């Protein structure tokens, strides 16, 4: 009897040990899977962050290239007008007077329309157009000289 009891308890202990081993194996597998999931999520997040960083870098590089190209285009455009020869001095004088006369004329027209108008509804389009042209001419006139000095400074 003791022999049978010994066999049965030894077998039961073996089975219990085997079950406990399997449970711990499942727990180890589960923990390993969770660890791999966390690592996978971390890799995905790092990849996303790297792509965002690279996207920002590419955007900055594109903006830099656009600015460089715009600067080169402006330098080339201003360079075209520096070497133009004028055959007669009176032609040069007329060419130099066109922008200031046009600017003054547009400012005077804008002031005249603004000061003499009584019905803004009928003349709104004319007023807006003249003010637009006057502001464009004034800003172009003074902005062109500032840009020319910047370009000449960069070229020397």
Specify the pLDDT at position 151.
55
Of 65, 84, 103, the residue at which a domain comes to its end is 84
d(C-alpha 104, C-alpha 137), whole Å: 9
d(C-alpha 115, C-alpha 129), whole Å: 16
Q: Over range 72-80, report the average pLDDT.
A: 78
Together in a domain, 2 and 66: yes
Residue 120 has pLDDT above 60, yes or no: yes
Q: Over range 89-95, report the average pLDDT.
A: 80
Together in a domain, 58 and 25: yes
Of 33, 49, 84, the residue at which a domain comes to its end is 84
Residue 147 has pLDDT above 70, yes or no: no
Higher pLDDT, 93 or 144: 93
DSSP helix/strand/coil, 156: coil
Together in a domain, 55 and 114: no
**pTM exceeds 0.75:** no
Domain coverage including residue 130: 86-156
């Amino acid at each position: 009897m003791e022999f049978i009891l010994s066999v049965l308890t030894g077998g039961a202990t073996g089975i219990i040990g085997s079950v406990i081993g399997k449970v711990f194996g499942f727990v180890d597998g589960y923990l390993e899977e969770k660890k791999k999931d966390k690592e996978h999520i971390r890799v995905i997040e790092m990849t996303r962050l790297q792509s965002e960083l690279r996207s920002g870098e590419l955007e900055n590089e594109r903006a830099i290239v656009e600015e460089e190209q715009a600067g080169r285009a402006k330098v080339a455009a201003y360079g075209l007008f520096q070497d133009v020869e004028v055959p007669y001095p009176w032609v040069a004088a007329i060419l130099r007077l066109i922008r200031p006369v046009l600017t003054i004329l547009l400012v005077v027209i804008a002031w005249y329309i603004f000061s003499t108008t009584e019905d803004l509804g009928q003349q709104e389009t004319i007023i807006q157009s003249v003010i637009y042209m006057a502001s464009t001419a004034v800003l172009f006139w003074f902005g062109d000289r500032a840009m020319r000095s910047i370009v000449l400074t960069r070229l020397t």
